[in-house]
Structure 1
C-alpha cells in the first residue's frame, strides 16, 4: 500500500469515526429518537477498519496529524464509553421500573389472563 494511499485511508476512517463519536456523544441522553444500535454499528465498523489499517501501516509511517487525531479520538472514545454506560444504566432502570409496575398490577387483586381462564374453566 502506498504511503499517500495509506495516509488518505487513515484520514478518512479517522474523520468518519470522529463524526460518529461527536454525533453519538451529543445525542446520548438528549435525543430520544437517536438510534444507538445503528450508531454502534457504524462506530464498530470504523474501529475495525482502523485496526486493519494499523496492521498494514506501521505507526512511524503515520503523519503527525494522524497522531494528533488519534489522541482526540481516544479522548472522545473515553467520553463515549462513559455516556454509553450511563445510557445502558438508564435503560436498565426503566426496565426495572416497568417490571415492578407490571408485578404490582398483577398483585393488586385482579386476575391475570391465565388466572381468569383457569377460574372460568373450573
Structure 2
C-alpha cells in the first residue's frame, strides 16, 4: 500500500512537471489537492516505519520520487521566476503610462 501511494504521488508530480514543460494548461488547485492528499496518506502509512529496515523496492520508489520532486522544484521555480519578471514588466509599463515623469527620477521610455 505504501509503494502504491508513493507511485500515485510520483505520477501527480510528474504530470505537473510535464504540463509545465509543455506549456499546457493545468488545474493547479486539483494538482495541489492530490499532492496534499498523497502527503496525508504517506504520513499515515509511514507512522512507525523504521528507516533502517526499508526493503529495496521501497527504497527504489523513494529514490524515484525524490528525483521527480527535485525536477518539479526546478521547473516550478523557473515558472515562478518568469512570472516575477512578467509582473515587473507590467508594473513598470503601468507606472510609465500613468506618470508624466514630473515627480520621478526615472526616465520615460
Is there any run of 5+ residues in structure 2 with no aligned partner, and where? 102-109
Deviations 1:26-70 (A, max 9, x none): 111422421234313322321232123222433355442111100
Residue 82 of structure 2 is matched in structure 1 by 90
Which structure would you say has the larger Rg? 1
Q: How many residues align?
A: 101
Give the conservation status (yes or no) of the 8 Å contact 1:25–1:80: yes
Write the mapping of 1:1-122 to structure 2, written as runs, cut at 5 A: 8=1, 10-59=2-51, 62-107=54-99
The structure that is helix-richer by fraction is 1
CA gap 1:70/1:31 in 2 versus in 1, 3 angstroms: same
Deviations 1:79-106 (A, max 9, x none): 1111111111111111111111111111
Hey, what's the Cα distance between the residues in 2 that align with 1:41 and 1:103?
Answer: 37
RMSD after superposition: 2.2
